[in-house]
């Protein structure tokens, strides 16, 4: 018995597949770039950032963390020859609203001490929250530029997307 969310996936995908004509696209991104952005529900990277199907890798995680995305970025560059990264964080990000201690307390209250242990064991207990949006974009960009796992030929730029206006700006 499918849930409403699963039913929506099945029904929507039927319409999508019925009109699908991009089955010929190759694996490597045609425009050889990678977008790192947040998982936030208010962001549609393809539409808002002009990414046509087949153009770019799109990595998304809570907060658009460069650190969290590093494995995927290295694969994108080393195995699929991308040469540029656009790192896009956004206004109103949930990661600006809590600290690790808050998140840990919530996990403990909802799921018990075993869940706190699981979080520590599985990703070190760091939820990667941050305090200042533009500063964190700059920090992540600098971290990638200096990272020895990233080729020095790779161009990295940082951006902020405003979820209330739909506009991006370079920072």
Contact set for a second copy, span 3-32 (CB under 8 A)? 3, 5-6, 8-13, 15-17, 20, 22-25, 27-31
142 lines the binding site for a second copy (CB under 8 A): no
Query: Site for a second copy (CB under 8 A): which residue of 133, 139, 147, 171?
Result: 147
Gyration radius of the chain over CA positions: 18
33 lines the binding site for a second copy (CB under 8 A): yes
CA distances for 7 relative to 2, 17, 20, 41, angstroms: 6, 15, 20, 19
- 24 annotated ligand-binding residue: no
Contact set for a second copy, span 65-104 (CB under 8 A)? 67-72, 74-76, 78-80, 84, 86, 92, 94-95, 98, 103
Which runs of E-coded beta strand occur in 62-100? 84-90
114 lines the binding site for a second copy (CB under 8 A): yes
Q: Which residues pair with 155 in a beta bridge?
A: 84
Q: Residue 5 and residue 73: Cα distance in Å, rounded? A: 30
């Amino acid at each position: 018995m499918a849930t409403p969310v699963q039913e929506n996936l099945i029904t929507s995908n039927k319409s999508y597949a019925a009109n699908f004509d991009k089955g010929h696209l190759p694996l490597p991104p045609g425009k050889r770039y990678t977008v790192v952005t947040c998982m936030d529900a208010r962001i549609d990277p393809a539409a808002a950032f002009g990414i046509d199907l087949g153009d770019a890798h799109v990595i998304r995680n809570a907060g658009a963390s460069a650190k969290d995305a590093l494995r995927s970025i290295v694969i994108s560059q080393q195995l699929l020859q991308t040469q540029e990264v656009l790192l896009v964080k956004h206004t109103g990000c949930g990661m600006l609203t809590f600290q690790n201690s808050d998140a840990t307390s919530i996990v403990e209250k909802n799921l018990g001490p075993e869940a706190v242990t699981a979080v520590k064991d599985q990703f070190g207990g760091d939820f990667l929250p941050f305090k200042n949006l533009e500063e964190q974009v700059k920090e992540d960009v600098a971290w990638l530029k200096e990272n020895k796992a990233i080729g020095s030929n790779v161009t990295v730029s940082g951006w902020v997307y405003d979820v209330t206006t739909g506009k991006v700006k370079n920072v």
